[in-house]
Amino acid sequence: MEERIAMKELSVGFVGGGRVVGILLEGWKRAQKLPVSVVVSDCNADSLNKLKSRFLQVQIVVGKPGLAAGQDVVFLAVHPPVMAEVASGLRGTIGADSMVVSLAPKFTIAKLTELLGGFSRVARLIPNAPSVVNLGFNPVCFSPALTSTDRTNLTSLLDPLGECPEVAEAKLEAYALLTGMGPTYLWFQFQALRELAVSFGLSETETAAALKRMVCGSARTLLESGMSSAEVMDLVPVKPLAEMEAPILEAYRTKLPGLFQKIKP
């Protein structure tokens, strides 16, 4: 079988031009791995113009997704409510050797293949916002129709963004809750601590260094110390926000399971 196009030559198309597209483009740009050819299509001209102002070499197309869908790797960067309509509209526009990569939960490879009129060269990816600084955790699964060369080319394209483990498709929605949306559970708390630390007299630089080490170290202590979660949480005797733990835990335990059921296929 003839080897498919090499990773460094892959052109990239995005159908959809929202936040996640900016995250991936910024991660590639930061790593100096921005694909040579990138086409982004979206109905929202304002979103496209914002991308163009940040990534001058990116080609933008308002409305018609045909050009974006004609690239070697086609990312479906749209939300689940419009995925069926968008994917169905791409029938006949995707090249026979192209790969389609969905960035949304809920729609399985089998369903995407059906919506695309039988096109089965499909992968699914749950993007992670820290990809913007090349520290993402972006789990991916592949259709059986993709060859080992296809998979290597796609993971090589994604590697500059951070980790890209291959996982079972049935686990992608769990990853969507854990890694895809997970930063939103924490960022507002990190920012509050950041602002307070500066108000207490630390410089921005001192605060950034301490916060980064504290957050990373705390996660690794919970996951790698070999201690039970109760033992870890008892390491610090003074807990200023202890009375807030119950309502926060209740929010996790009620909100997230309901959302998980909503995004499951």
Q: Tell whether 136 and 217 lie within a shared domain.
A: no
- Dihedral pair phi/psi, residue 12, rounded to 5°: -125, 135
Structural domain count, the chain: 2
Partners of 142 in the β-ladder: 123
For 134: left if phi > 0, alpha if psi spans -120 to 50, otherwise beta; the answer is left
Q: Is 29 helix (H, G, I), strand (E, B) or coil?
A: helix
Lowest mean pLDDT, pick from 7-16, 63-72, 96-105, 132-141: 7-16
* pLDDT, tens digit, 9 for 90 and up, residues 147-193: 999 999 999 999 999 999 999 999 999 999 999 999 999 999 999 99
- Domain finish residue from 170, 204, 228: 170
User: Mean pLDDT across the chain, nearest whole number?
Assistant: 95
Burial of residue 8 (CB within 10 Å: 0-12, 13-18, 19+) is exposed
Whose tokens are 């060269």? That residue is: 121
Q: Report, as an integer, the average pLDDT of 194-217.
A: 98
Residue-number span of the structural domain to which 73 is assigned: 7-170
- Dihedral pair phi/psi, residue 258, rounded to 5°: -65, -40
CATH code: domain of residue 214: 1.10.3730
- Domain finish residue from 126, 145, 170: 170
What confidence score (pLDDT) does residue 164 get?
97
Q: What is the token pair recorded at 227?
A: 């201690």
Q: Tell whether 158 and 137 lie within a shared domain.
A: yes
Is residue 1 assigned to a domain?
no
CA distance 117 to 254: 38
CATH code: domain of residue 93: 3.40.50.720
Q: Tell whether 131 and 238 lie within a shared domain.
A: no
Share of the chain above pLDDT 90, in %: 95
Give me the sheet containing 140-142, strands edge to edge.
Answer: 59-62, 38-42, 12-15, 73-76, 99-102, 122-125, 140-142
Residue 10 pLDDT more than 70?
Answer: yes
* pLDDT, tens digit, 9 for 90 and up, residues 94-153: 999 999 999 999 999 999 999 999 999 999 999 999 999 999 999 999 999 999 999 999
Q: Tell whether 166 and 189 lie within a shared domain.
A: no
Is residue 175 assigned to a domain?
no
Q: Tell whether 61 and 108 lie within a shared domain.
A: yes
- Domain finish residue from 139, 170, 201: 170
